């Protein structure tokens, strides 16, 4: 006769993990069944590989559909992980017993177009939607029933209806740990769980089963939950049929009442008959503690994975060890923390636990001790301890024998060769492109961005020059889904990026959004605009993809020949000019690019006069931005940009220009040496004459000064003209133009604003500076010098 021992656990609970390990050592079962996708059974042996470092996750996905994917995370303190490791060490079979991912990923989520992801559970089960990135789902209490699985999507759905037990409600979602905590008089489920389980370690599984039976009394599971539990019972019966006599089952505590007596198989077979099914692939991927936290949206998450990891690893004197580690973190930031601080913090934490009637100081007590003693009441260093220790910044690792698509393996090899380690912690990377290693790193990050894997986010370089780049690196688990999807484009990173760019350059596709994954995998929405294509050409050169560039340049030529909108051409030109320059700096060939640049510039110069007519304020402001961008790009072309300067000089002499455009052209030509100061003063005086509406004069000033206010600091005549115009406005006119002036002067750097203010306050303007009578001033000067002791 087969004996079933069902151990109800809280997913990612260190107390449950210790209890499971101890119970399995006592029972010595013939087979261990664990809540999770059965498709992962062939991969479970990898958990015993020395190269497998939790946190890790099982990833199940439908090939070719990144929205149909789900993760099952495991930490070292997860009961399921400890059960797997025990079974592998003992040499007994270990299997997953939850509803297969092939069925779960085929089920539609009500109200969503995406399929539902399966759900193991914090204390039980619950469905969750799938999508393009993990960490979504509902933000639930620690006792929710989503069994350890994370949906791979941004959509959310309430999986926890809460509420007290009452009349049977089909599909009612409850927080079992929350209900038990309320019954025990706790208002914080996390605190109750720590007191009842984590800090005691002696709560028998029979007590947990009885508690869950009381919580589930009158509960009628919804269809999905019923099917999951039916499949678990089927797996238990199959193990008994195969001859196993001592079967251990590790599952979310919520499921225990439904599994303690497997019963006959006919009702479960009827319930499971005809389920939809899709083809799925399963593998192990690294996970992070940040994604394990419940604040990320993970239904079975815990609020403090770093703290739970510490409780599991440091069973002896956890409070003392935790506070000593917190002191070390603060010392790394050059904060003065002594051993005496740690001793006093331990005493305070233990005193707080005694006053509050807790068996051991919990996270709340040690955090208060850190704040009061180690940080001396300052919340900023407390946040540092919170981020590094309470949540944790750990990223797991999987062994080389883990099934991977060739693209994943190629990236892994490149990361090693380039000494770029994937880390969950954000870190800054400064590159000097004159060094081959840094140049190769830059190319890799740009190629991954084209594939929709923004491992690195560009930021402003700390130094000047085109040979410098700065990045912020942060690896996220969902990047593995994007890599699996991108494997269709090629088996190596350069080949896949080249294939993706060629697809994007074709009709009916749009370039990927560098801000995040997912956008790169949605072709066929709208055709890429000319500006997007030129931006793609620039990114090709940054990524060193010469094989993809001809297709992009061909698409640009075809699109530019049909596009007669000058603003579109102006928006496209700067990226092409930068691409040409990057090709020179990085040694990347860009044949054919110079001809396209010259053609676009000629068309822009010819069409600019017509583009400036009949513009309202918003259109004028947009065009002024394009003019600035093209002017900056033309400056990189050397003598080839002279045609642009000539076009601006001819345009500046026209009447009827919008004030913003007129002022901006005047400033550009002044900075370029095309206009003398006297000519600029004449134009400014004319534009600010009483015959012009004040609003038009204000937009002229805005356009003229948008290049910076330093000109007013050094040119007394121009400052005088602006000052005279402002002081000559009526009160009503001044109120009308004040928003424009505030926007103009508010854009200046603070030192420039202060310098202009000082000159105006001192009367240092051409309109207010009187002639100095040195003879009359001489007695006053002598008196002042005598007072200062310099006579």
- Contact criterion met (CB below 8 Å) for 500 and 486: yes
259 contact partners, CB below 8 Å, separation of at least 6: 4, 6, 229, 232, 233, 236, 249, 251
Report which listed range, 161-170, 518-527, 770-779, is most confident.
Answer: 770-779
Strand 65-74, strand 3-9: pairing: unpaired
Highest mean pLDDT among 36-40, 650-654, 733-737: 36-40
Q: Which residue matches tokens 């904060």?
A: 335
- Position of tokens 């394990």? 292
pLDDT more than 70, % of the chain: 83
Do 122 and 261 sit in the same domain of this protein? Answer: yes
- Please report the pLDDT score of residue 301 as a whole number: 60
Name the residue among 140, 120, 104, 5 with its Cα closest to residue 72: 120
In a domain, 415, yes or no: no
**Confidence band, pLDDT 50/70/90 cuts, at residue 54:** very high
Residue 175 lies inside a defined structural domain of this protein = yes
Structural domain includes residue 101: yes
638-655 mean pLDDT = 83
**Based on the domain organization, do 119 and 79 belong to the same domain?**
yes
Residue ending a domain, choose from 248, 267, 296: 296
Domain shared by 85 and 179, yes or no: yes
Q: Which of 184, 185, 232 is nearest to 35 (CA)?
A: 232
| CB-CB contact of 481 with 152 (8 Å) | yes
Q: How far is CA 294 from CA 11, 186, 499, in A?
A: 12, 20, 38
| Tally of domains in the chain | 2
Q: Is the dihedral of CA 56, 57, 62, 64 positive or negative?
A: negative
Instruction: Lowest mean pLDDT of 313-327, 426-440, 523-537, 585-599, name the range.
Output: 585-599
Classify the C-alpha dihedral 319-325-329-335 as positive or negative. positive
- In terms of pLDDT, which residue wins out, 500 or 597? 500
pLDDT digits (tens, 9 = 90+) for 690-737: 777 888 888 888 888 776 767 677 767 777 777 777 777 777 777 777
Band (589; pLDDT cuts 50, 70, 90): low
Torsion of CA 674, 676, 680, 682, to 10 degrees: -130
SS3 of 88-120: HHHCCCEEECCCCHHHHCCCECCCCCCEEECCC
CA distances from 679 to 175, 392, 671 (A): 76, 63, 13
User: What is the three-state SS of 611-648?
Assistant: HCCCCCHHHHHHHHHHHHHHHHHHHHHHHHHHHHHHHH
Judged against a pLDDT cut of 80, whether residue 583 lies above it is answered with no
Whether 480 is covered by a domain: the verdict is no
pLDDT at 523 over 90: no
Q: What is the pLDDT of residue 737?
A: 75
Q: For residue 688, which of 661, 724, 740 has the smallest C-alpha distance?
A: 724
pLDDT band per the 50, 70, 90 thresholds, residue 79: very high
Is residue 228 in a domain?
yes
CA distance 100 to 422: 31
**CA nearest 444: which of 455, 459, 435?**
455
Question: What pLDDT score does 107 carry?
Answer: 72
Contact 174, 125 (CB under 8 A): no
Of 476 and 588, the structure prediction assigns the larger pLDDT to 476
* pLDDT over threshold 60, residue 71: yes
Reported confidence tier of residue 522, pLDDT bands at 50, 70, 90: very low
> Which sign, positive or negative, has the C-alpha torsion 186, 190, 193, 199?
negative
Token output for 423 = 């880390």
Cα 470 from chain centroid (whole Å): 17
Residues 374-390 have a mean pLDDT of 90
Are 132 and 15 in a shared domain? yes
Among residues 392, 426, 452, the one where a domain terminates is 392
CB 17, CB 310: distance < 8 Å: no
pLDDT at res. 698: 82
**What's the pLDDT tens digit per position in 669-696?**
888 888 887 887 888 777 777 777 888 8
**Polymer length in residues for the chain:** 791
Tokens coding 537: 């050409």
CA distance 540 to 554: 14
Mean pLDDT score across all residues of the chain? 80
Radius of gyration (Cα) for the chain, nearest Å?
Answer: 34
Looking at the structure, do residues 108 and 172 belong to the same domain, yes or no? yes
pLDDT digits (tens, 9 = 90+) for 296-312: 545 556 778 888 899 88
pLDDT at 559: 80
Q: Which domain holds residue 9?
A: 3-296
Strand order in the sheet with 150-151: 150-151, 65-74, 56-62, 281-286
Residue, of 767 and 288, whose pLDDT is higher: 288
Q: Are 40 and 146 part of one and the same domain?
A: yes
Q: Give the contacts of 720 (CB within 8 A, at least 6 positions apart).
A: 765, 766, 767, 768, 769
Lowest mean pLDDT among 60-69, 109-118, 673-682: 109-118
Q: What's the confidence (pLDDT) of residue 575?
A: 79
pLDDT (0 to 100) of residue 177: 76
Tokens of 482: 């994007």
Start-to-end CA span in the chain (Å): 115
239 and 380 in a single domain? The answer is no
Is 645 domain-assigned? Answer: no
Residue pair 521/482 in contact (Cβ under 8 Å)? The answer is yes
3-state secondary structure 210-277: HHHHHHCCCCECCHHHHHHHHHHHHHHHHHHHCCCCEEEEEEEHHHHHHHCCCCCCHHHHHHHCCCCC
Q: Residue 769: which pLDDT band, with cuts at 50, 70 and 90?
A: very low
Give the pLDDT confidence score for residue 764 in this predicted structure. 59
> What's the average model confidence in pLDDT over 318-346?
93
Per-residue HEC secondary structure of 368-384 comes to: HHHHHHHCCCCHHHHHH
Picking from 41-45, 426-430, 716-720, which range would have the lowest pLDDT averaged per residue?
716-720
Task: Report whether pLDDT(393) > 90.
Answer: no
Same domain, 36 and 135: yes
Residues 262/4, Cβ–Cβ less than 8 Å:
yes
Instruction: Kindly state whether residues 262 and 328 are assigned to the same domain.
Output: no
Does the residue 652 lie in any domain? no
Predicted confidence (pLDDT) at residue 437 exceeds the cutoff of 50: yes
Q: How confident is the model at residue 122 (pLDDT cuts 50, 70, 90)?
A: very low
For residue 776, pLDDT beyond 90: no
The pLDDT assigned to 420 comes to 92
Would residue 441 count as lying in a domain?
no
Within 8 A by CB and 6+ apart from 274, the residues are: none
Phi-psi region of 166 (alpha: psi -120 to 50; beta: other; left: phi over 0): beta
Range with the poorest average pLDDT among 431-435, 556-560, 578-582 = 578-582
> Within this chain, do residues 318 and 258 fall inside the same structural domain, yes or no?
no
The pLDDT, as a whole number, for residue 128 is 33
Write down which residue in 392, 415, 437 finishes a domain.
Answer: 392
Question: Is residue 236 domain-shared with residue 376, that is, in the same domain?
Answer: no
Could you identify the residue written with the tokens 């065009």?
623
- Are β-strands 246-252 and 31-34 bridged in parallel, bridged antiparallel, or unpaired? parallel
Same domain, 93 and 218: yes
Confidence tier at 465 by pLDDT (50, 70, 90): low
């Amino acid at each position: 006769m087969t004996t079933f021992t069902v151990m109800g656990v809280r997913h990612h609970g260190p107390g449950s993990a210790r209890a499971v390990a101890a119970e399995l050592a006592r029972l010595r079962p013939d087979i261990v069944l664990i809540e999770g996708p059965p498709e992962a059974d062939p991969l479970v042996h990898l958990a015993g590989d020395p190269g497998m470092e939790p946190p890790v996750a099982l990833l199940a996905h439908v090939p070719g559909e990144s929205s149909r994917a789900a993760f099952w995370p495991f930490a070292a303190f997860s009961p399921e992980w400890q059960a797997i490791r025990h079974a592998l060490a003992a040499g007994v079979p270990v299997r997953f017993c939850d509803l297969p991912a092939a069925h779960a990923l085929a089920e539609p989520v009500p109200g969503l177009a995406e399929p539902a992801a399966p759900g193991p559970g914090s204390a039980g089960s619950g469905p969750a939607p799938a999508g393009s990135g993990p960490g979504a789902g509902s933000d639930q209490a620690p006792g929710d029933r989503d069994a350890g699985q994370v949906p791979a999507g941004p959509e959310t759905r309430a999986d926890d209806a809460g509420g007290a037990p009452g009349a049977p409600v089909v599909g009612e979602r409850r927080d079992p740990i929350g209900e038990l905590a309320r019954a025990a008089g706790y208002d914080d489920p996390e605190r109750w769980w720590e007191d009842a389980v984590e800090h005691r370690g002696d709560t028998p599984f029979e007590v947990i089963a009885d508690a869950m039976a009381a919580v589930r009394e009158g509960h009628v599971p919804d269809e999905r939950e019923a099917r999951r539990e039916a499949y678990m019972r089927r797996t238990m019966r199959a193990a008994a049929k195969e001859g196993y006599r001592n079967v251990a089952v590790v599952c979310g505590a919520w499921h225990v009442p439904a599994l303690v007596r497997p019963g006959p198989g006919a009702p479960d077979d009827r319930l499971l008959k005809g389920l939809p099914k899709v083809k799925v692939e399963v593998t192990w991927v690294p996970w992070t503690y940040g994604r394990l936290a419940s604040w990320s949206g993970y239904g079975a998450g815990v609020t403090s994975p770093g703290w739970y990891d510490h409780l599991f690893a440091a069973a002896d004197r956890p409070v003392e060890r935790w506070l000593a580690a917190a002191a070390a973190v603060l010392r790394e930031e050059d904060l003065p923390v002594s051993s005496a601080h740690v001793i006093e913090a331990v005493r305070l934490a233990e005193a707080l636990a005694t006053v509050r009637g807790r068996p051991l100081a919990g996270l709340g007590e040690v955090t208060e001790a850190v704040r009061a003693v180690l940080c001396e009441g300052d919340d900023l260093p407390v946040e540092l301890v919170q981020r590094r220790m309470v949540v944790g910044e750990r990223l797991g690792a999987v062994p080389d024998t883990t099934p991977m698509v060739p693209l994943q393996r190629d990236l892994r090899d490149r990361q090693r060769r380039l000494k770029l380690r994937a880390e969950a912690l954000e870190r800054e990377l400064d590159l000097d492109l004159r060094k081959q290693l840094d140049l190769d790193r830059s190319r890799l990050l740009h190629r991954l961005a084209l594939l929709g894997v923004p491992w690195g986010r560009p930021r402003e370089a700390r130094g000047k020059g085109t040979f410098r780049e700065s990045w912020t690196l942060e690896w996220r688990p969902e990047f593995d889904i994007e890599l699996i999807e991108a494997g269709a484009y090629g088996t190596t990173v350069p080949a896949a990026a080249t294939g993706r760019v060629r697809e994007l350059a074709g009709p009916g596709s749009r370039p990927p959004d560098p801000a995040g994954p997912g956008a790169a995998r949605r072709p066929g929405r709208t055709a890429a605009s000319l500006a997007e294509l030129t931006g793609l050409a620039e990114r090709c050169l940054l990524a060193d993809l010469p094989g993809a560039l001809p297709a992009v340049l061909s698409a640009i030529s075809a699109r530019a020949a049909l596009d007669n909108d000058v603003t579109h051409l102006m928006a496209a030109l700067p990226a092409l000019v930068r691409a040409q320059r990057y090709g020179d700096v990085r040694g990347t060939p860009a044949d054919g690019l110079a001809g396209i640049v010259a053609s676009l510039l000629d068309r822009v110069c010819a069409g600019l006069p017509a583009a400036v007519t009949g513009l309202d304020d918003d259109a004028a402001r947009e065009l002024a931005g394009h003019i600035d961008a093209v002017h900056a790009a033309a400056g990189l072309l050397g003598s080839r940009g002279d045609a642009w300067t000539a076009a601006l000089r001819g345009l500046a002499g026209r009447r009827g220009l919008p004030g913003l455009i007129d002022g901006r052209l005047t400033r550009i030509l002044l900075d370029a040496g095309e206009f003398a100061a006297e000519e600029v003063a004449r134009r400014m005086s004319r534009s600010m004459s009483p015959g012009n509406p004040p609003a038009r004069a204000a937009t002229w000033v805005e356009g003229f000064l948008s290049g910076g206010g330093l000109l007013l600091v050094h040119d007394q005549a121009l400052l005088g003209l602006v000052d005279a115009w402002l002081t000559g406005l009526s009160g009503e006119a001044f109120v009308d133009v004040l928003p424009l002036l505030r926007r103009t002067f508010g854009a200046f750097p603070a030192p420039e604003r202060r310098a202009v203010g000082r000159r105006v306050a001192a009367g240092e303007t051409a309109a207010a500076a009187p002639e100095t009578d040195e003879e009359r001033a001489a007695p006053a000067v002598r008196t002042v010098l005598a007072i200062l002791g310099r006579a």
